[in-house]
C-alpha cells in the first residue's frame, strides 16, 4: 500500500521529500513538471509524469496526500481529485504562489490542512536548513510577512540587467511568502541588450507611471538604496526593504537593509536568498540573474567576489544559454556607433584618463557603451563620456586598473550641481542643463557643456579618492 502521495511539486514539495529520507519507498509522486520529475527520480522516489489532477494516474491506495505545486488553481483541482479518489485519506494542501482568498477557501473546504505559503517558506529555512533568525533570508521573510498589502519592488531608472533581474527575483521571493509583488522601473529600458533580455525572456515589469503608491503595503529598492535618488519615486518616500551592492552615500533607512559593496552584482544577493529559501527560479528568472551578474562584473573581470562565481555556477544549470547568446549579440544601432565614433573623435586625454563630450544624444545608454569602448585605448584606465538630451546632461564613467574610485570621483565633481553615484569601477551622473542653455547663445551648446562638465571632472580628478576597502560603513537603518 502507498502510504504517502505527492501531487505536483515545488520547493515546498521538495522539502517534504527531503524530510522523508528513510521512508521514500512508501512515497509516490505525480507531477507533469519534467524538471521536478527528474529531481524526484534522482532521489529514488517513484514518480509518475502526469497531470496531478488526473485521478487515473493515482495509485490504488494512499493514506496521506500532499498537494504541493506552485499553482494555486491546480492545487485546488488536485485536492478535490484526491478527496474524491481517497475519501478517508488525510489531505494536506499547499496554498501555492499568491493564492486568492477564494482559492484558499476552496482548499480549506477540501483538505484537512492548508499550508500557508509564508509558513511553508519560513519552515523551509528554519527547519530544513538550520538557519537562525539573524540570517538575512530569515529577516527578509520576517519583514515581508509584516506587510498589510502588496510589495512594490523598484529598480533604478533606466535599469540595467542587474537591476531588472534583482527586482524580478525579489518579487518572486515575496510571492513565495504569500505577498503579492510588482517589479517596476522609471525612465526607459534603452540599451539594446537590455531590451533584448526583457523581450526574449518575456519578463514582466511595470513602469512607475502605471502604479499608484497607495495601492502597496511596502516598498523595496534593488540595486540602489535611496528613494528619489536615481529612481522615479518621490524623494524621501518611505522604504521598507533595500538590497544593493553599491556603497551608500549616506544613511539608508528600512526595516530590512542588505548592502554588500564587496559583491559584483545585486543579482548575486538575490540568488543567495533564493537558494537559502529553497526557491527554484524559473528558467527566465535564472537566465536574467545570470546575465545581471555577467554584465555587472563584465564577465567576471571587474569587482568580482567568490559569491559571484558561486551564484553564476548555481544559475548556469537552470539558465537558457541559447537565449542568453541571443541577448548578448543584438544588432548595434546606428546611434550607438555614432556616439562611440564621436567619443573617440572628441576625446580629451590627460595621463591615463580620457573624457569626451559627444554633444546631443538620442539614447543615454550609448554613453555607457562608449565609456566601455574607450577603455580599450592604450594606456587608458579611466574614461568619462557625457552628452545631453531633453534638458539634462548625462555622463557615464568606467575604470580598469585605476587607483581611484570613479563613483566618488563623479560625486565630488557633479553631485553639487546634479546627482551622481556608482562604485569604484562604474558610475553615472545627471546634471540639469539649466542656465547653460542660455549661455550657449554666443557659442555652441556642446562646447559650453564640455567646458563646464570636463572642467569639474578634471578638477575633482586632481584630488581623486581611492577605491574603498573593507565593509560598508555602519550607517543607521532606522
Residue ranges of domains in the chain, CATH in brackets: 4-115 (3.40.50.720), 136-328 (3.90.1640.10), 334-461 (3.10.310.30)
pTM of the model: 0.58
Residue 443 C-alpha cell reads as: 557659442
pLDDT of residue 116: 67
pLDDT of residue 239: 94
Residue 346 gets the label, from left (phi > 0), alpha (psi -120 to 50) or beta, of alpha
pLDDT of residue 21: 55
What distance in Å separates the CA atoms of residue 129 and residue 416, rounded to the nearest whole number?
48
Residue from 80, 81, 94 nearest 16 by CA: 94
What distance in Å separates the CA atoms of residue 316 and residue 55, rounded to the nearest whole number?
36
- The pLDDT confidence band at residue 153, using thresholds 50, 70 and 90, is very high
C-alpha distance from residue 148 to each of 95, 179, 215, 407 (Å) = 19, 9, 10, 37
pLDDT of residue 338: 94
> Judging by DSSP bridges, how do beta strands 426-432 and 419-423 pair with one another?
antiparallel
Residue 138 C-alpha cell reads as: 530569515
Residue 10 C-alpha cell reads as: 515545488
Residues pairing with 27 in the sheet:
4
- The pLDDT confidence band at residue 408, using thresholds 50, 70 and 90, is confident
pLDDT of residue 293: 95
Residue 336 gets the label, from left (phi > 0), alpha (psi -120 to 50) or beta, of alpha
The single residue listed with the C-alpha cell 485521478 is 55
pLDDT of residue 477: 38
Q: Give yes or no for residue 397 having a pLDDT over 80.
A: yes
- The pLDDT confidence band at residue 424, using thresholds 50, 70 and 90, is confident
Residue 434 gets the label, from left (phi > 0), alpha (psi -120 to 50) or beta, of left
pLDDT of residue 434: 84
Residue 96 gets the label, from left (phi > 0), alpha (psi -120 to 50) or beta, of left
DSSP 463: T
Residues pairing with 387 in the sheet:
394
Give the ranges where 219-318 is alpha helix by DSSP (H). Answer: 266-277, 283-296, 306-316
C-alpha distance from residue 276 to each of 96, 109, 127, 128, 291 (Å) = 19, 33, 12, 10, 20
The single residue listed with the C-alpha cell 525572456 is 201
Q: Give yes or no for residue 134 having a pLDDT over 80.
A: no
Burial 429-446 (b: 16+ CB within 10 A, else e): bbbebeebeeeeeeeebb
Mean pLDDT across 249-263: 88
**Non-local CB neighbours of 441 within 8 Å, separated by 6+ positions:** none
91-121 pLDDT, tens per residue? 999 888 778 889 989 999 999 888 765 555 5
Q: Which residue has the higher pLDDT, 241 or 38?
A: 241
* Under 8 Å between Cβ of 418 and 430: yes
Residues pairing with 185 in the sheet:
207
Range name among 23-37, 38-52, 376-390 with the lowest pLDDT average: 23-37
Share of the chain above pLDDT 70, in %: 88
The single residue listed with the C-alpha cell 525612465 is 187
Q: Give yes or no for residue 474 having a pLDDT over 90.
A: no
Alpha-carbon Rg of the chain, whole angstroms? Answer: 26
Q: Give yes or no for residue 468 having a pLDDT over 60.
A: no
What is the overall mean pLDDT for the chain?
85
Q: Give yes or no for residue 241 having a pLDDT over 70.
A: yes
pLDDT of residue 97: 78
Residue from 376, 159, 136 nearest 265 by CA: 159
CA angle 19, 116, 284 (to 5 degrees): 80
Range name among 12-26, 172-186, 373-387, 389-403 with the lowest pLDDT average: 12-26
What distance in Å separates the CA atoms of residue 453 and residue 431, rounded to the nearest whole number?
9
347-396 pLDDT, tens per residue? 999 999 999 999 999 988 889 889 989 998 999 999 999 999 999 999 99
pLDDT of residue 11: 72
What distance in Å separates the CA atoms of residue 104 and residue 109, rounded to the nearest whole number?
9
* Under 8 Å between Cβ of 297 and 265: yes
pLDDT of residue 80: 96
* Under 8 Å between Cβ of 409 and 401: no
Amino acid at each position: 500500500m502507498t502510504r504517502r502521495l505527492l501531487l505536483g511539486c515545488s520547493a515546498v514539495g521538495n522539502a517534504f521529500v527531503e524530510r522523508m529520507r528513510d521512508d521514500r519507498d512508501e512515497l509516490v509522486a505525480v507531477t507533469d513538471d519534467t524538471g521536478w520529475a527528474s529531481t524526484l527520480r534522482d532521489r529514488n522516489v517513484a514518480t509518475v509524469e502526469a497531470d496531478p489532477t488526473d485521478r487515473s494516474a493515482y495509485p490504488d491506495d494512499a493514506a496521506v496526500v500532499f498537494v504541493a505545486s506552485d499553482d494555486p488553481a491546480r492545487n485546488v483541482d488536485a485536492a478535490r481529485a484526491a478527496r474524491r479518489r481517497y475519501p478517508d485519506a488525510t489531505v494536506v494542501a499547499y496554498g501555492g504562489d499568491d493564492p486568492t482568498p477564494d482559492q484558499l477557501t476552496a482548499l480549506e473546504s477540501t483538505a484537512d490542512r492548508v499550508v500557508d505559503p509564508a509558513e511553508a517558506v519560513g519552515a523551509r529555512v528554519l527547519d530544513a536548513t538550520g538557519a537562525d533568525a539573524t540570517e538575512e533570508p530569515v529577516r527578509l521573510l520576517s519583514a515581508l510577512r509584516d506587510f498589510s498589502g502588496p510589495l512594490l519592488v523598484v529598480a533604478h531608472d533606466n535599469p540595467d540587467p542587474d537591476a531588472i533581474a534583482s527586482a524580478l527575483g525579489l518579487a518572486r521571493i515575496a510571492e513565495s511568502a504569500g505577498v503579492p509583488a510588482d517589479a517596476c522601473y522609471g525612465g526607459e529600458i534603452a540599451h539594446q541588450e537590455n531590451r533584448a533580455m526583457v523581450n526574449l525572456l518575456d519578463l514582466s515589469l511595470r513602469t512607475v507611471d502605471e502604479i499608484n503608491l497607495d495601492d502597496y503595503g511596502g516598498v523595496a529598492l534593488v540595486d540602489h538604496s535611496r528613494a528619489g535618488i536615481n529612481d522615479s519615486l518621490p524623494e524621501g518616500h518611505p522604504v521598507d526593504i533595500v538590497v544593493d551592492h553599491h556603497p551608500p552615500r549616506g544613511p539608508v533607512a528600512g526595516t530590512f537593509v542588505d548592502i554588500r559593496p564587496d559583491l559584483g552584482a545585486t543579482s548575486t544577493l538575490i540568488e543567495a536568498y533564493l537558494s537559502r529559501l529553497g526557491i527554484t527560479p524559473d528558467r527566465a528568472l535564472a537566465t536574467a540573474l545570470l546575465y545581471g551578474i555577467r554584465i555587472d562584473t563584465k564577465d567576471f573581470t571587474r569587482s568580482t567576489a567568490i559569491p559571484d562565481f558561486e551564484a553564476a555556477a548555481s544559475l548556469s544549470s537552470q539558465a537558457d544559454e541559447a537565449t542568453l547568446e541571443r541577448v548578448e549579440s543584438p544588432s548595434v544601432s546606428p546611434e550607438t556607433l555614432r556616439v562611440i565614433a564621436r567619443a573617440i573623435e572628441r576625446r580629451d586625454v590627460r595621463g591615463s584618463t580620457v573624457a569626451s563630450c559627444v554633444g546631443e544624444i538620442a539614447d543615454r545608454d550609448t554613453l555607457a557603451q562608449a565609456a566601455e569602448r574607450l577603455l580599450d585605448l592604450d594606456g587608458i584606465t579611466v574614461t568619462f563620456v557625457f552628452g545631453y538630451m531633453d534638458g539634462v546632461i548625462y555622463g557615464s564613467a568606467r575604470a580598469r586598473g585605476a587607483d581611484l574610485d570613479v563613483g566618488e570621483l563623479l560625486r565630488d565633481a557633479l553631485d553639487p550641481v546634479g546627482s551622481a553615484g556608482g562604485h569604484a569601477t562604474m558610475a553615472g551622473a545627471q546634471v540639469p542643463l539649466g542656465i547653460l542653455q542660455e549661455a550657449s547663445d554666443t557659442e555652441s551648446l556642446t562646447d559650453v557643456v564640455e567646458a563646464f562638465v570636463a572642467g569639474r571632472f578634471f578638477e575633482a580628478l586632481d584630488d581623486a579618492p581611492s577605491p574603498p576597502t573593507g565593509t560598508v560603513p555602519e550607517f543607521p537603518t532606522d
